[in-house]
Amino acid sequence: MNEVQRAKIVLKILNKTYPKTTIPLKHRNIFTLLISVLLSAQCTDLNVNNVTRNIYPKYNKPEHFVKLGRKKIEKLIRSIGIFRIKAKSVYNLSKTLVERYNSKVPKTFKELEELPGVGHKTASVVMSQGFGYPAFPIDTHIHRLAQRWGLTNGKNVIQTEKDLKRLFPKRYWNKLHLQIIYYGREYCKARECYGISCKICTSCYPKRKKPIKTTRA
- Measure the CA–CA gap between 68 and 91, rounded to whole angstroms: 8
SS3 assignment, position 96: helix
The answer to whether residue 121 is catalytic is: yes
- Specify the long-range contacts of residues 163-171, CB closer than 8 Å, at least 24 apart: 163/3, 164/136, 164/138, 165/136, 167/3, 167/4, 167/7, 168/7, 168/11, 168/136, 170/134, 171/134
Q: Is 139 a catalytic residue?
A: yes
- Helical residues (DSSP H) of 106-197, grouped into ranges: 109-113, 120-125, 140-148, 157-167, 173-186
Which amino acid is present at 216?
R
- Name the active-site residue from 58, 88, 107, 139: 139
The answer to whether the CB of 115 falls within 8 A of the CB of 96 is yes
Q: Which of 101, 206, 217, 213 is nearest to 155 (CA)?
A: 217
Q: Which listed residue (86, 121, 163, 175) is catalytic?
A: 121
Q: Mind spelling out the 3-state secondary structure of 194-211?
A: CCCCCHHHHHHCCCCCCC
Positions marked active-site: 121, 139
